[in-house]
């Protein structure tokens, strides 16, 4: 698809386009020069301009050396909006990671970490959460680490570089709570932790064959920091805590913890960015180009291929071969709490009341137990993790890896539930205090209760939202 404008065009009064840079989800980016000779980046908001523009006003007058500046919003003669931004000639962090697939080393990682934290601290102090931190939005230019794309809603990508859906953030860098609509500054702390891991190792901490698999790992798995030296292992572990209350309260706290280690301070003090980074563009890592594509920038254009291609798999099939739960495939995972689960149990008990009485008459003592086991195993294994009660309450049971239960999974979970019963109900009450709402038998069987996002009566769906 050809770009809308070419060299020499003047879509906005006062600026002449030199060349196209790249194309993103909302429009096109051009390198341009003002009539006074200033190099700028012009972003043409071809699609959904109202989405892109809604955060610009709050960011227009921000001034910090670690942020790519927004100069103005202009309109063409036809009323088409353009964002005028700072020109960035240096490479993005994504460019550097692509050029160094084994990782950047601790000194370079610390340099980028410090610049990111200083820029984010400035944003957070002014009530702005970035929401889309990723290596493609971090740049090096003339001695400074610069952050782009701050303050705008962006699309969520199934890989680190492409494939979009309509949510905020990039899935490999997205905190677990984003799926439930929580956009506090803790999500930026989480993304910084992911990027620190990637800068040190050359890979992201959670990978998968589909967006759903990656999201489920964010929700359920701890990063593997084995082999990382201190303080990095400890800092990454805390930054990537599932509960935002357990992470660093601020990016300043994170950086202070890192620099509390003498080795980190020493490494950073002797690092010379002019020697290590200034020649990056000249070596072919990055064309001189305007990095920003949103409020404050971001690198679009043809994305580099992933360094390690993900294993081939259907979009909704996990690496294990089991189908993913529909909520996991679409990224809408919300844990079902103790009380709604209790409601489902009550409904199931009512459904089984008469059949249990008949079973007890036919086979005293064991009849009711056998009927209950058959009911749970049959329905959970064949009815997409739902019994009658769970379906009525709009919840389902899934495996902790995000896959649907099969009959074997359902049997293990049902047998484990007897342990919760034998503990005088304490095993069930554990769900009220667990961060993922797990009862004792959920922990044993490695299962989760989540809100179902399909086949839910409207009244229950609205109550669960």
What CATH class is the domain 93-276? mainly alpha
* β-pairing verdict for 15-23 and 39-44: unpaired
93-276 and 15-59+69-86 share a CATH fold: no
Segment among 199-203, 250-254, 303-307, 368-372 with least mean pLDDT: 303-307
Instruction: Give kind and range of the element (H or E) at residue 412.
Output: helix 407-422
For 47, half-sphere exposure in the C-beta direction (CA atoms, 13 angstrom radius) is 11
Segment among 49-53, 176-180, 411-415 with least mean pLDDT: 49-53
CA distance 393 to 464: 9
> For the chain, what are the domain ranges?
15-59+69-86, 93-276, 326-464
Q: Which CATH number fits domain 15-59+69-86: 3.30.200.20, 2.60.40.10, 2.60.200.30, 3.20.10.10?
A: 3.30.200.20
Instruction: Give kind and range of the element (H or E) at residue 399.
Output: strand 395-399
Q: Higher-confidence residue: 236 or 161?
A: 236
> What is the DSSP track for 138-160?
EEEETTEEEE-STTS---EESSS
In which band, very low, low, confident or very high, does the pLDDT at 330 lie, cut at 50, 70 and 90? Answer: low
Active site residue 132: yes
Q: What is the pTM of this model?
A: 0.67
* β-pairing verdict for 70-75 and 81-86: antiparallel
Nearest C-alpha neighbor of 318 from the set 394, 191, 405 = 405
Q: What is the largest CA-CA distance in the chain?
A: 94
CA distance 461 to 465: 6
Segment among 29-43, 78-92, 284-298, 417-431 with least mean pLDDT: 284-298
Query: Which residue blocks in 126-261 are alpha helix, DSSP H?
Result: 186-201, 211-220, 232-239, 251-259
Q: Is the pLDDT of residue 385 over 50?
A: yes
CA distance 227 to 249: 26
Catalytic residue among 95, 132, 149, 442: 132
């Amino acid at each position: 698809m050809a770009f809308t404008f070419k060299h020499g065009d003047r879509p906005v009064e006062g600026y002449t386009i030199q060349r196209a840079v790249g194309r993103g989800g909302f429009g096109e980016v051009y390198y341009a020069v003002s009539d006074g000779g200033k190099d700028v980046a012009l972003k043409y908001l071809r699609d959904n301009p109202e989405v892109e523009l809604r955060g610009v006003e709050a960011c227009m007058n921000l001034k910090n050396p670690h942020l790519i500046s927004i100069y103005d919003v202009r309109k063409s003669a036809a009323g088409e909006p353009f964002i005028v931004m700072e020109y960035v000639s240096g490479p993005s962090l994504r460019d550097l990671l692509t050029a160094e697939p084994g990782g950047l080393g601790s000194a370079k990682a610390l340099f980028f970490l410090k610049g990111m934290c200083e820029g984010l601290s400035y944003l957070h102090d002014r009530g702005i959460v970035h929401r889309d931190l990723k290596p493609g939005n971090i740049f090096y230019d003339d001695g400074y680490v610069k952050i782009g794309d701050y303050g705008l809603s962006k699309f969520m990508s199934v890989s680190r570089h492409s494939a979009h859906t309509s949510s905020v953030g990039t899935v490999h860098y997205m905190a677990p709570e984003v799926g439930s609509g929580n956009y506090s500054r803790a999500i930026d702390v989480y993304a910084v932790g992911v990027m620190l891991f990637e800068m040190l190792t050359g890979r992201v901490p959670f990978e998968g064959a589909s967006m759903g698999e990656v999201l489920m790992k964010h929700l359920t798995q701890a990063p593997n920091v084995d082999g990382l030296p201190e303080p990095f292992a400890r800092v990454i572990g805390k930054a990537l805590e599932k509960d935002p209350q357990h992470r660093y309260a601020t990016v300043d706290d994170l950086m202070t913890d890192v620099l509390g280690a003498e080795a980190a301070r020493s490494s950073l003090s002797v690092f010379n960015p002019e020697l290590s980074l200034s020649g990056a563009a000249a070596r072919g890592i990055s064309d001189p180009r305007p990095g920003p594509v949103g409020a404050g920038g971001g690198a679009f254009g043809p994305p580099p291929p992933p360094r390690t291609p993900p294993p081939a798999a259907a979009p909704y099939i996990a690496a294990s071969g089991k189908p993913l739960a529909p909520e996991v495939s679409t990224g809408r995972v919300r844990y079902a709490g103790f009380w709604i689960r209790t409601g489902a149990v009550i409904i199931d008990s009512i459904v089984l009341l008469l059949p249990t009485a008949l079973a007890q008459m036919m086979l005293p003592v064991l009849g009711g137990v056998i009927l209950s086991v058959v009911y749970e195993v049959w329905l959970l294994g064949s009815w997409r993790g739902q019994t009658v009660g769970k379906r009525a309450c709009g919840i389902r049971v899934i495996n902790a890896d995000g896959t649907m239960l099969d009959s074997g999974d359902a049997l293990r979970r049902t047998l484990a539930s007897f342990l919760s019963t034998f503990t005088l109900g304490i095993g069930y009450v554990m769900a009220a205090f667990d961060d993922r709402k797990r009862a004792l038998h959920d922990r044993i069987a490695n299962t989760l209760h989540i809100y179902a996002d399909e086949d839910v009566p409207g009244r229950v769906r609205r109550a669960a939202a």
